[in-house]
Amino acid sequence: MSHPTDYKVAPKSFARLAADAESLRKLLGADHRPEFKVWQAIEFLERTELPNKGVLTVHTFNAPLGYAPARVKYKPLRLFIDRDVKEAALLGFPFEKYVVAHEIAHIVEHDNTAKAFSSSEAERLKAWPKEELAEWQADTFADNLLVPWKYLFSFRFDINAIASACNVERKVVERQIAALKAEKRYVCQECPKCGCFTLARKGNALKCETCGNELDTPNAGGVR
């Protein structure tokens, strides 16, 4: 998801954003259930003062066609959200849930110091690492808030099962699987010894980070 305007912000890594998302889940007592109720987080932020930001207030409006359905403003901290999007998110519709999760990221991770770039300046954004772009950070936080990595393992990388359990669109699960492969060098295949999906590339071999089992690459064959 993206807004017509992106922003340059303080750099944050995938790992940092995933940890922040996990912390929010734990704070809300939602760490042990796959589906995250996004509006419960909004209600929490409406009664909890965030350092240097204050308490969130929510304003609903009827978004014109083609207009962003939600946006966060700072000083004071406000969420503007389309009425229909809010109602759909409350009912658990996956797309609208993601809209809210994305805005939660802006509330938690960002402030009024961000430097804006309009869509007409898209070329200038290419000069900045993705870790310094507000929209990438918000999407990464939202992905991890809605689909923590542990549920990829719990449901054995079954995209449909994960999407159903977490109540998200398939593409969110697919992004998380791709991120796991990129960040941890996991191949997302089952270890023949322990059955875990924690085989990672180590040079020319695969090593299970759970049991330590080492396998040659498919071209070489064999188990060590």
pLDDT, residue 97, reads 99
Q: What is the mean pLDDT of each run of 10 residues along the chain (224 residues)?
A: 73 96 97 97 98 97 95 97 98 99 98 70 68 95 98 95 99 96 80 82 84 72 38
Where does residue 85 fall: left (phi above 0), alpha (psi -120 to 50 degrees), or beta otherwise?
alpha
Confidence at residue 59, expressed as pLDDT on a 0 to 100 scale: 99
Predicted confidence at residue 99, as pLDDT, reads 98
List the domain boundaries for the chain: 5-147, 185-224
pLDDT in the model for residue 205: 86
Answer whether 214's CB lies under 8 Å from 202's CB. Answer: yes
Q: What does the pLDDT read at residue 124?
A: 60
User: Crossing angle of helices 134-146/94-109, nearest 10°?
Assistant: 120
Q: Which of 55, 44, 41, 35 is nearest to 155 (CA)?
A: 35
CA angle, residues 18, 12, 138, in degrees to nearest 5: 65
Q: Do 110 and 134 contact (CB within 8 A), yes or no?
A: yes
Question: How many other CB atoms sit within 10 Å of the CB of residue 215?
Answer: 21
**Which pLDDT value is given to residue 188?**
75
Phi, psi of 156 (to 5 degrees): 55, 40
Residue length of the chain: 224
